[in-house]
C-alpha cells in the first residue's frame, strides 16, 4: 500500500478497510483480518492498525468480539457512506470551491459538466 | 524495559561522545533512533547491550546492569551491528553455533524469513555472501531469536528494493507487547510506516523522544502553496510540489508524519518544538 502524502496513516488504513467493505470484499458480519495480519499485509506497525480499529469501532463500522476478533457491523455500509459524505463536505468541497474561485469559473459551467457526466 | 540515566561516555580522554544522556524505552514499541553521523547512536546501542561501559551514570537493561553481562540478560538481547562480523561459517553452521544462546530461537521462523528474503542455500558461507545477502541472514536470525530486546543498527542498509518491503512485513509480524525494538537509521523512508516512536540524538544527548501519536497531535505536516500564509510554521522546505511544512497543530486534525521533515525541524527549531511537548 502506497501512503499518500498528508493524511495520517491510521486514517488511510481506515479508508482501506472501508473500501474493502464498500466493494463487498468484506461483508457485513464477516470477521476481518487481525491487527497483526493487516499490519503484515500493509507493512505497517500493528500498533497503528490497532488505532485504526479503535477508530472504526468508535464509529460503529466494526465491532470486537472478545477473544475472537473484529467483525464488520451490520449497517457498516450506511455508516461509511454517511462518514464519507461528511468528509467530502468538510474537506474536499471547500478545496473544490477554492479552485473554482481561483480559476474564475461559474457555477453554471460546472452544472453543465455535471449533467454531461451523469448522462454518461 | 531499558532505562539509561545520566550516562556519560567517551572513547578518548579529551572528548566526550555522550554527555549526561537519559533515555527510557518501553516494551511493545518500535523506536526509531535518528541522529547525524557521529552523534553516538551506535555507541548508545552498545552501551545498552553491554558491549561498552559507561564512564558515569547507570543503565538498566531488562532489569540488569549490562556491565555484568549476565547470561539471563544476554539471551534476551540481539544486537545487529551495522558492520557485520566476518565469519568463516556457513549459514546452517552459524545457526547451529549461535542459536543455543537464545532460548526462544525458532528454527522454522528463521527458515521462513530466509525463504522470504530469497536466501535459499543454507550451505552458503557467510564471508562469501554479498553485504546485502549477509545482512538478510543476520536480520532473519535476529528476528527469529525472539529476544525481548532487538537493537538494529541500519538494518536496511544494503538491502535490495524488494527486501525492504519484506523487512517491514517481517518486523510487523514480529513485534508484540513483550518485545522492544530499536532501529537506528538514516533510511527514514524505509521505516516511516513501521516506527511508532521517535528518538532524536543531537549534541550527544537525547533531544527528542515522543510517540508518533503524540507528535501528530502537536505538529501538523503539510504541503502548502507558496503564497499560502500560516502563522504557526515551525519549519519550511521548498520543493517542486510546494512548501513542505511543519506547523503547530491548532485544529487537532492529524496528518502523516514526515520523519525527514520532523528531523530537520528539530535541528533548526528545537526550542520551539520542545516547548509544545
Based on the domain organization, do B130 and B21 belong to the same domain?
yes
For chain B, the domain total comes to: 2
Q: Which residues pair with B197 in a beta bridge?
A: B31, B211
Q: Is the pLDDT of residue A37 over 90?
A: yes
Based on the domain organization, do B114 and B149 belong to the same domain?
yes
Q: Tell me the percentage of chain A whose pLDDT exceeds 90.
A: 68
Yes or no, beta carbons of B256 and A42 under 8 Å apart: no
A·B CB contacts under 8 A: 59
pLDDT for res A14? 94
Of B160, B184, B203, the residue at which a domain comes to its end is B203
* Structural domains of chain A, ranges and CATH numbers in brackets: 9-76 (1.10.10.10), 77-119 (no CATH)
Based on the domain organization, do B56 and B127 belong to the same domain?
yes
Scanning every residue of chain B, which has its alpha carbon at the shortest distance from the alpha carbon of A37? B173
Q: How confident is the model at residue B233 (pLDDT cuts 50, 70, 90)?
A: very high
Of B149, B178, B203, the residue at which a domain comes to its end is B203
Scanning every residue of chain A, which has its alpha carbon at the shortest distance from the alpha carbon of B170? A40
- Residues of A near B (Cβ–Cβ under 8 Å) read 3-12, 36, 39-48, 51
Yes or no, beta carbons of B256 and A8 under 8 Å apart: yes
Based on the domain organization, do B41 and B176 belong to the same domain?
yes
Yes or no, beta carbons of B195 and A45 under 8 Å apart: yes
Yes or no, beta carbons of B221 and A7 under 8 Å apart: no
- The whole-number average pLDDT for the span B224-228 is 79
- The answer to whether the predicted template modeling score (pTM) of the entire model surpasses 0.90 is no
How many CA atoms are closer than 13 Å to the CA of A59, on its beta-carbon side? 23
**A9-22 vs A35-42: helix crossing angle, rounded to 10:** 100
H or E, element range at B168: helix B161-174
Q: Which residues of A touch B173 (CB under 8 A)?
A: 36, 39-40
Contact B172, A36 (CB under 8 A): yes
Based on the domain organization, do B123 and B257 belong to the same domain?
no
Q: What domain range is B29 assigned to? A: 2-203
Of B182, B203, B224, the residue at which a domain comes to its end is B203
Based on the domain organization, do B59 and B144 belong to the same domain?
yes
Based on the domain organization, do B70 and B188 belong to the same domain?
yes
* CA dist., res. A85 & res. A82, Å (int): 5
Based on the domain organization, do B197 and B223 belong to the same domain?
no
* CA dist., res. A16 & res. A22, Å (int): 10
Based on the domain organization, do B74 and B143 belong to the same domain?
yes
pLDDT for res A3? 61
User: Which among B172, B213, B223 has CB closest to A5?
Assistant: B223
- Give DSSP secondary structure letters for chain A: -PPPSSB-HHHHHHHHHHHHHHTTSS-TTPBPPPHHHHHHHHT--HHHHHHHHHHHHHTTSEEEETTTEEEE-TTHHHHHHHHHHHHIIIIIHHHHHHHHHHHT--HHHHHHHHHHHHH-
What grid cell was written down for B66? 549490562
Based on the domain organization, do B79 and B143 belong to the same domain?
yes
Based on the domain organization, do B181 and B107 belong to the same domain?
yes
CATH of the domain at B42: 3.40.50.300
Amino acid at each position: 500500500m502506497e501512503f499518500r502524502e498528508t493524511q495520517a496513516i491510521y486514517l488511510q488504513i481506515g479508508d482501506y478497510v472501508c473500501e474493502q467493505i464498500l466493494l463487498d470484499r468484506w461483508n457485513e458480519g464477516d470477521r476481518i483480518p487481525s491487527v497483526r495480519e493487516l499490519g503484515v499485509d500493509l507493512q505497517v506497525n500493528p500498533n497503528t492498525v490497532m488505532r485504526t480499529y479503535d477508530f472504526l469501532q468508535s464509529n460503529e463500522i466494526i465491532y470486537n468480539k472478545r477473544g475472537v476478533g473484529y467483525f464488520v457491523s451490520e449497517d457498516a455500509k450506511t455508516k461509511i457512506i454517511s462518514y464519507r459524505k461528511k468528509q467530502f463536505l468538510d474537506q474536499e468541497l471547500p478545496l473544490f470551491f477554492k479552485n473554482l474561485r481561483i480559476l474564475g469559473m461559474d457555477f453554471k459551467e460546472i452544472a453543465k459538466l455535471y449533467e454531461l457526466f451523469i448522462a454518461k | 524495559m531499558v532505562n539509561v540515566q545520566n550516562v556519560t561516555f567517551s572513547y578518548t580522554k579529551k572528548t566526550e561522545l555522550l554527555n549526561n544522556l537519559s533515555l527510557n524505552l518501553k516494551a511493545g514499541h518500535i523506536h526509531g533512533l535518528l541522529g547525524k553521523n557521529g552523534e553516538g547512536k551506535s555507541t548508545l546501542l552498545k552501551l545498552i547491550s553491554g558491549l561498552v561501559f559507561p564512564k558515569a551514570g547507570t543503565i538498566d537493561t531488562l532489569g540488569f546492569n549490562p556491565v555484568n553481562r549476565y547470561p539471563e540478560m544476554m539471551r534476551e538481547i540481539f544486537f545487529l551491528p551495522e558492520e557485520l562480523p566476518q565469519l568463516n561459517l556457513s549459514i546452517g553452521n552459524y545457526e547451529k553455533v549461535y542459536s543455543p544462546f537464545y532460548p526462544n530461537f525458532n528454527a522454522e521462523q528463521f527458515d521462513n524469513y530466509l525463504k522470504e528474503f530469497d536466501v535459499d542455500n543454507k550451505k552458503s558461507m557467510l564471508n562469501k555472501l554479498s553485504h546485502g545477502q549477509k545482512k538478510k541472514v543476520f536480520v532473519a536470525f535476529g528476528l527469529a531469536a525472539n529476544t525481548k530486546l532487538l537493537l538494529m543498527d541500519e538494518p536496511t542498509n544494503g538491502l535490495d528494493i524488494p527486501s525492504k518491503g519484506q523487512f517491514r512485513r517481517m518486523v510487523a509480524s514480529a513485534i508484540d507487547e513483550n518485545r522492544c525494538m530499536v532501529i537506528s537509521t538514516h533510511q527514514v523512508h524505509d521505516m516511516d510506516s513501521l516506527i511508532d516512536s521517535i528518538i532524536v540524538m543531537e549534541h550527544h544527548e537525547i533531544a527528542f523522544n515522543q510517540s508518533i501519536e503524540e507528535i501528530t497531535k502537536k505538529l501538523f505536516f503539510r504541503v502548502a502553496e507558496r503564497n499560502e500564509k500560516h502563522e504557526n510554521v515551525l519549519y519550511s522546505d521548498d520543493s517542486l510540489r510546494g512548501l513542505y511544512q511543519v506547523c503547530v497543530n491548532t485544529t487537532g486534525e492529524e496528518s502523516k508524519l514526515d520523519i525527514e521533515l520532523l528531523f530537520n525541524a528539530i535541528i533548526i527549531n528545537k526550542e520551539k518544538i520542545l516547548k509544545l511537548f
